Amino acid sequence: MSQIKLVIGNKNYSSWSMRPWLLLKAFGIPFEEINIALYRGDTAEKLGPYSPSLKVPALLHNETTVWESLAICEYISEQLLEGRGWPANPKKRASARSVAAEVHAEFPHLRKDWPMNCKASVPMHVAGGLADEIARIDGIWSCCRRKHGTGGDYLFGKFSIADCMMAPIAICFRAYGAKLSLEAQRYCNTLLANPHVMDWVEQGRAEKDPTSMAVVSGMAG
């Protein structure tokens, strides 16, 4: 029998943890959740046995350890979903992988200035690099929905890893009041209405963590 453990940080602000968690939930894969509180004196010590990078998320499956959110999503798709984490159509799949990789590698301003915080609801001023990055996300969302969105309400129609990568961004956009095009806003609303996204947000909001204000100074990711 396979054993799947997902090591994650605080749900209130660990956007990287949320991505593979959402994938496992969306596809109904049972797993054990191991929660490690971030930004504490003993965080690295607690992560040591699970995560070579001393960061979350990390996935433990039988004898295999995988870290880095996108690598974990790839592994889940390959080993546990027979590839169903990505769109079946090769063109859609190529674009889905591209936008997922872009989220994983880019958007430094979003990460620093608008960190995920499920409890936050504070309209924020937008300028410079942050405005450019919000516009780029809006462009990705509208363009993918228009070009690839048939067959469902998600970025590539049916729910995929690309949506897992975008979900924390939707939470940030709602929290800080991003102004989006109609198409992008519609997709943002779809993500926020996903029952597993709603569960994550609810659990994040319920966390009682003295470090949760740290996100205001840009510590979270």
Ligand X SMILES: N[C@@H](CCC(=O)N[C@@H](CS)C(=O)NCC(=O)O)C(=O)O
Output the six-digit token pair for 134: 């919000």
Q: Is 68 in the site for ligand X (CB under 6 A)?
A: yes
| C-beta of 157 vs 221, nearer to ligand X | 221
Binding residue (CB under 6 A) for ligand X from 69, 95, 194, 212? 69
The distance of closest approach from Cβ of residue 58 to ligand X in the complex, given in angstroms and rounded to an integer, is 8
The distance of closest approach from Cβ of residue 138 to ligand X in the complex, given in angstroms and rounded to an integer, is 22
Binding residue (CB under 6 A) for ligand X from 6, 7, 9, 204? 9
Binding residue (CB under 6 A) for ligand X from 7, 12, 14, 190? 14
With b meaning 16 or more CB within 10 Å and e meaning fewer, what string describes 172-181?
bbbbbebebe
CA 187 and chain centroid, separation: 15
The single-letter code of the amino acid at 205 is: R
The distance of closest approach from Cβ of residue 110 to ligand X in the complex, given in angstroms and rounded to an integer, is 13
Q: Is 38 in the site for ligand X (CB under 6 A)?
A: yes
Q: Which of residues 94-123 bind ligand X (CB under 6 A)?
A: 104
Distance CA 138, CA 179 (A): 9
Q: Which of residues 15-34 bind ligand X (CB under 6 A)?
A: 15-17
The single-letter code of the amino acid at 173 is: F
Q: Which among 126, 3, 145, 19 is positioned nearest to 71, based on CA atoms?
A: 19
Q: Is 74 in the site for ligand X (CB under 6 A)?
A: no
CA atoms within a 13 Å half-sphere pointing along the CA-CB vector of 92: 23
Three-class DSSP category at 220? coil
Q: Which among 102, 71, 219 is positioned nearest to 169, based on CA atoms?
A: 102
Q: Is 221 in the site for ligand X (CB under 6 A)?
A: yes
Output the six-digit token pair for 18: 């949320």
The distance of closest approach from Cβ of residue 129 to ligand X in the complex, given in angstroms and rounded to an integer, is 20
| C-beta of 104 vs 196, nearer to ligand X | 104
Q: Which residues bind ligand X (CB under 6 A)?
A: 9, 14-17, 38, 43, 55-57, 68-69, 104, 221
